[in-house]
Amino acid sequence: MVCRLLAYNAELDLARRFNAYLDDLDEHRAITRQLLHLGGTIAYRRRAIEVTLERPESPRVARALGQLIAELNDGPTAHLNGDRRPITYQVAAP
């Protein structure tokens, strides 16, 4: 039950941050759920971990995702537990 609650809160927080760029009060939660199923790759480099997400089909959603990723990359550096390499995010080129 605790894991479900944590997952719900994480999804809700992500949806709210994403909607700051998407500006769609009716659909932002559904679009966020779709983005959670977006394909991509994770590259474990010597000095960093790079997460590359596939570009969404909708230009509006792709733009909002790009802005959210820029915010995530500019904020405090993310790390995996026990790993000092920073995690950076990007959207695949069209």
Residue 63 one-letter amino acid: R
**Domain total of the chain:** 1
Q: How many CB atoms lie within 10 A of CB 22?
A: 21
Q: Give pLDDT tens digits for 18-33.
A: 999 999 888 888 999 9
Q: What is the pLDDT of residue 5?
A: 87
pTM of the full predicted structure?
0.84
Give residue 68's domain range. 2-91
Rounded to whole angstroms, how far apart are CA atoms 24 and 30? 10
Q: Give pLDDT tens digits for 3-58.
A: 888 888 888 898 999 999 999 888 888 999 999 899 999 999 999 999 999 999 99
